[in-house]
Chains A and B, each alone.
Chain A
Amino acid sequence: MGDTDCTRQIGRWFSEFLPNSYMIYGPDDWQRCFLAAADQQLGRPADLSMPESAATADVRVGLLSRGLIHVGDQKRVREDAAKTLDLAVQESNKDLSCERAALRLAAVEWLARAGVVADEGKNPFLGQSEIAASPSAGDSERQAAESAQVLRAQEPQESRKGPIGRKPVRRNQKYRLIDGALQGIAESRPRTQEEVFQALEGRHVVIPPAEPFMAGRGWIAGFRRDPAAARAWLSKRWAELSLSPLPRGPKNPKK
């Protein structure tokens, strides 16, 4: 039996169970990324789509670093790169599975080699030449190198911006923590803004240097002190992070 037949057989086998693995058996989003990458390897016999949640940006970049997924939207890749670095800074690795942690580390190292992590022109890891695939490299290495080129490629007018195409903005460290927490909370699909504040309180997330939370000295206390101001603050952050909108409609429908 030829290798092509083997590929076809595995593809057919995948198409029998991968859709259920992806949709029904309840994997986490990062695990869906693995399944979608596996599907892509064999020409998408199960037609799985790659999850796009911000919380799995590191997984996509890690898979990209190994040439396991294709570069689609270049802007999206750069956004994923930025988000990966945020995740690496904001989220503890201690609750990650070892596979996820390894992939995140691979993603960050790859971004470093691509020059994305470089701070003020200094690359703490490796020289840029090391990202280039040799002419004799395998397909995956070549694809990963091409992806790295996408990350490095900037429009001329963006050359004075930060290494990933955004203007470097010095932000309060608290906001980095808060943003990370909000992204995690968004994944749990809260129904109301109050639920978001309760989740922030429950996670003991540091409060921002903003009212009404400063005056209330807490998320829930601040919300109760001035609900309108608290809602306005949350709406702004929610929008800036491009998180999925909360469900519309009456929150407490009359029975």
Chain B
Amino acid sequence: MVASNAPLSRVFSAWVLRRPEDQETFRSLVNEAAARIGVAQSFQTVAILGFAAEAGYLREGHREALREGLLRQAGRSAVIDDVPMAFCLDVVGILGIAVGTKSCGRHGLHSPNRALVLGVFAQ
């Protein structure tokens, strides 16, 4: 396995495996991502919040960070000077954005107690 310490890779792995022992790492990385606001919020940061939203681990402040991040990403150009931006090739990030968006659309950003429902990543 090609190991990766990138936060998004670690969050994705924790999200997909849903192991209790990864819970602390997951929370920590999500909290770090949520603390980034404005231009400090990268594509990967928003994707991390997307996976967190799907897992039901988003606090009130996190939800707003996700919403802002999604809207900011949606305004980005995918190609500049005929060169595709890096996010076009970041398939894990794209998936995170998608599940986060769907989570927002289906349940709303203010859906309560989803974390309690899903258990593994419950607060």
Q: Give residues in A with beta carbon < 8 Å to B.
A: 1, 3-4, 6-7, 9-14, 16-18, 20-21, 25, 27, 31, 34-35, 37-39, 41-42, 62, 65-66, 68, 93-99, 101-103, 105-106, 109, 134, 136-141
Contact = CB atoms under 8 A, between A and B. Distances in A.
Nearest to A93: B1
A14 B107 CA distance: 21
A138 B18 CA distance: 14
B39 interface: no
Interface of B: 1-4, 9, 12-13, 15-18, 54, 56, 67, 70-71, 73-76, 78-79, 84, 88-89, 91-92, 94-95, 97-99, 101-102, 104-109, 114, 117-118
Contact of B89 (A25, A95, A105, A134): A25
DSSP majority for the A interface? helix
Name the 7 nearest CB pairs between A and B, nearest first.
A17-B78, A38-B98, A7-B105, A102-B13, A34-B91, A41-B98, A9-B74
DSSP majority for the B interface? helix
Contacts of A42: 98, 101-102
Contacts, number: 134
A231 to B, nearest CB: 37
Contact of B102 (A16, A27, A41, A62): A41
A13 B12 contact: no
14 contacts: A6-B74, A7-B105, A13-B73, A13-B75, A14-B98, A21-B89, A21-B94, A25-B84, A25-B88, A38-B91, A95-B2, A97-B1, A106-B18, A137-B118
Given A102-B17, A138-B114, A140-B54, A13 B99 contact: no
A144 to B, nearest CB: 11
Contacts of B9: 97-99
